[in-house]
Amino acid sequence: ENEKGIVYNITAQKGTTEIFDGVQTATYGYNGSFLGPVIRLTEGDTIKLRTNNALSEATTFHWHGLDVQGAGDGGPHQLLQPGETKEVEFTVNQQASTLWFHPHPEGATAEQVYNGLAGLIYVEDENSKNLALPNEYGVNDFPLVFQDREFSNDKQLDYQAVLNEDGTLGDTLLINGTLNPKLTVRKEKIRLRLLNGSNAREYTFKLNTGDKFQQIGTDGGLLNKPTKLTEIILTTGERAEIVVDFSKYKPSEDIAIINENGAVLLPFKIDEQKSNSVDLPETLNNYAVTEEERNLPVTKKIELFGMGDMVTINGKKFDMNRIDFTQQQGETEIWELYNKPDMMGGMTHPFHIHGTQFKIVSIDGKEPPASLQGWKDTVAIQPKQTIKLAVKFNNKGVYMFHCHILEHEENGMMGQVEVK
């Protein structure tokens, strides 16, 4: 820390990781061999991200969910060749949230993420610092990055061999890059920051007891109040912060996060140690879709269509040299998304916009569920659905919007908005 602000050095590099006992798997990582560090930001701070490409191929550093100028957003225009360094300076101007970062080079995003390039960004603000939420990293506040991978017989990642045009899936779940992890927790309320960092797979998270947990945050901020749920679904790119109350379980009980089929994703080991478990604050935030926003006309229409390599947005495939939309800095516009079904019925697309956190105004004309009434940068849209978003950019530049199934993005399901 100095008068020029806080500097973070982030290097994309190759390495090997012992994912399976006694075997080294070739992987990519940031500042390490696999995945990346947590970058901690506080609203109001001046930050310098010094990025460095130590790979033997071009990459970019994209800050997913961060409110930053287009030139520093790390989209496909901001390539770093091997050995190149680039600095991004900005002032943190957004709410407490869990964001992430990953590469975005045209044609190689999916493969580089698959190989391990992904890290987290935690944002804190005055509000979050004063709230009595679990916030001790690794004690009662854990990041959980869910990614499915397919390993070859010799336990290597061979993206090209398993590539699926509709989204590459794997038969092996890694959480924070670890195979079969078990999380030790104390008998208290535990905050879990969930990131679906997969290329394509959608996850449903529930407790094996059927008990409710509380959601406290969406992609880009805290919910207005803790919201009780029995399950939460995250499509790729999405985050949610949840709090599970372990004070009510005995150390002998088998508590786990399971998926919709009952398969165990993450088992917990409950520590004997008792710890005080305070109630969560009743109010966490003051998010609202305003009357004015509700009454704004639709000024941008996005039609998502197709499957495999036939995917399009408004009938077109991505073109680096084509600006699809323009929008004025600081002005809110209503983007209407429509997922047009095809003869096969179509599929869910996680729609993401760079450089902003948006509000979901309506889903098929109705109020979104409580767990989506908060700041978002990625929203799942099902076939035939219409979703209205209130979108405002605080910075200028060219930003991508795309399906976050990374293979759909690679296949051209992406466009560009220029903010002037």
Q: Which does 102 bind (CB under 5 to 8 A by kind): ligand C2O, Cu ion, none?
A: ligand C2O
Whole-number minimum distance, CB 302 to Cu ion, in Å? Answer: 12
DSSP H helices, 156-216, are 159-162
Is residue 155 within 8 Å of residue 23, measured between CB atoms? Answer: yes
Q: Near Cu ion by CB under 5 A, which window of 59-67, 92-100, 105-113, 261-269?
A: 59-67
Q: Strand runs (DSSP E) across 73-150, as ranges?
A: 85-91, 97-102, 119-124, 141-149
408 sits near Cu ion (criterion: CB under 5 A): yes
Residue from 402, 407, 415, 417 touching ligand C2O (CB under 6 A): that is 402
DSSP H helices, 89-235, are 109-114, 126-130, 159-162
* Count of residues engaged in binding ligand C2O, rule: CB under 6 A: 10
Q: How far apart are CA 203 and CA 183, in angstroms?
A: 19
User: Which phi and psi angles does 211 have, rounded to 5°?
Assistant: -65, 155
* CA nearest neighbour of 184 among 234, 129, 249: 249
Q: How far apart are CA 98 and CA 221, in angstroms?
A: 8
Site for Cu ion in 60-89 (CB under 5 A): 64
Is residue 182 within 8 Å of residue 215, measured between CB atoms? Answer: no
Whole-number minimum distance, CB 352 to Cu ion, in Å? Answer: 5
Pull the structure tokens for residue 132.
């009595």
Whole-number minimum distance, CB 351 to ligand C2O, in Å? Answer: 11
DSSP H helices, 145-213, are 159-162
237 sits near ligand C2O (criterion: CB under 6 A): yes
Pull the structure tokens for residue 242.
């949840």
Is residue 34 within 8 Å of residue 143, measured between CB atoms? Answer: no
Q: Near Cu ion by CB under 5 A, which window of 188-196, 276-284, 360-368, 395-403?
A: 395-403
Whole-number minimum distance, CB 73 to ligand C2O, in Å? Answer: 9
Whole-number minimum distance, CB 41 to ligand C2O, in Å? Answer: 17
Q: Near ligand C2O by CB under 6 A, which window of 171-179, 204-212, 330-338, 399-407?
A: 399-407
Residue nearest to ligand C2O (CB): 64
Whole-number minimum distance, CB 10 to ligand C2O, in Å? Answer: 16
408 sits near ligand C2O (criterion: CB under 6 A): no
Is residue 161 within 8 Å of residue 169, measured between CB atoms? Answer: no
Q: Near ligand C2O by CB under 6 A, which window of 51-59, 86-94, 274-282, 396-404?
A: 396-404
Site for ligand C2O in 49-108 (CB under 6 A): 62, 64, 102, 104
Q: Which does 104 bind (CB under 5 to 8 A by kind): Cu ion, ligand C2O, none?
A: ligand C2O
